[in-house]
Structure 1
Amino acid sequence: MEPDKNTWWNSFYYKGKIPWGHLPSTFLQRMVYQFPTNAKILDLGCGHGRNISYLYNLGFQVTGIDFSDVAINDAKQLCDATFITKNLVEETNWIDDTFDVVIDFGFYHFFPSERRYVYVQELLKVLNPGGIYINESGRLRDHQIGGPLYKPPQFQLQDFQDIKDHLQLIQINEAILPPHGTWGEYPCWQIVCKK
Structure 2
Amino acid sequence: MSYDPRTAWESAYRSQTEIAYPAEGVIRIFKGRFPKLNLPTEHKGLSILDLGCGDGRHLPFFASLGFEVSAVEISDNLCESLQQKMSSISVPVDIRCGHAGNIPFDNGSFDRLLTWNSCYYMSAGEENFQDHVKEMARVIKPGGWIIASIPKKMSFIFNGSEPANSPGYRVIRDDYFGARNGEVMRCLENQVDLEESFCQEFEGFCHADIDMNWFGLAYHWHVFCARKKS
TM range (shorter): 0.7 to 0.9
Deviations 1:111-154 (A, max 9, x none): 368321221221221111111110012112277xx9x7238655
Moved more, 162-171 or 124-133: 162-171
127-136 vs 30-39, which moves further: 30-39
**Residues 81-160 of structure 1: pairs in structure 2 closer than 5 A:** 81-89=93-101, 91=102, 94-96=104-106, 98-111=109-122, 114-141=127-154, 149-150=176-177, 153=185, 154-157=187-190, 158-160=193-195
Aligned residue identity for 1:95: F
Tell me if structure 2 keeps the 8 A contact 1:131–1:194: yes
Which blocks of at least 5 consecutive residues in structure 1 are unaligned?
none
Contact 2:155 2:218 in 1 (8 A): no
Task: Determine the C-alpha separation between the residues in 2 that align with 1:58 and 1:174.
Answer: 24
Shift of residue 178 of structure 1? 7.4
Give, in angstroms, the shift of residue 46 of structure 1: 1.0
Compared CA separation, residues 131 and 177, structure 1 to 2 (3 A): farther
* TM superposition shift of 1:66: 0.7
Q: What is the CA distance between 1:59 and its match in structure 2?
A: 2.1
Q: TM-score, normalised by structure 2?
A: 0.68
- In proportion to residue count, which structure has more helix? 1
Structure 2 unmatched runs, 5+: 32-40, 160-174
Partner of 2:4: 4
2:54 maps to 47
Q: Normalising to structure 1: TM-score of the pair?
A: 0.79
Q: Which has the larger radius of gyration?
A: 2
Alignment deviations for residues 46-86 of structure 1 (CA, whole Å, 9 cap, x no partner)? 11101122101222101001103343344321332110012
Matched, 1:24 2:22: yes
Structure 2 CA distance for partners of 1:106 and 1:132, relative to 1, 3 Å: same
What is the rounded CA distance, in whole Å, between the counterparts of 1:30 and 1:71 in structure 2? Answer: 27
Equivalences, count: 186
Instruction: Give the conservation status (yes or no) of the 8 Å contact 2:97–2:104.
Output: no
Does the aligned pair in 1 maintain the 2:112–2:140 contact within 8 Å?
Answer: yes
Q: SS of the residue aligned with 1:133?
A: strand
Partner of 1:170: 205
The AA in structure 2 aligned to 1:166 is E
Report the alpha carbon displacement of residue 179 of structure 1 after superposing the two structures with TM: 4.5
Which 4+ residue blocks in structure 1 deviate beyond 6 angstroms?
Answer: none
1:57 equivalent to 2:64? Answer yes
Q: Once the two structures are aligned, what percentage of the paired residues are identical?
A: 19
Structure 1 residues 117 and 134: alpha-carbon distance in aligned structure 2, compared to 1, 3 A threshold? same
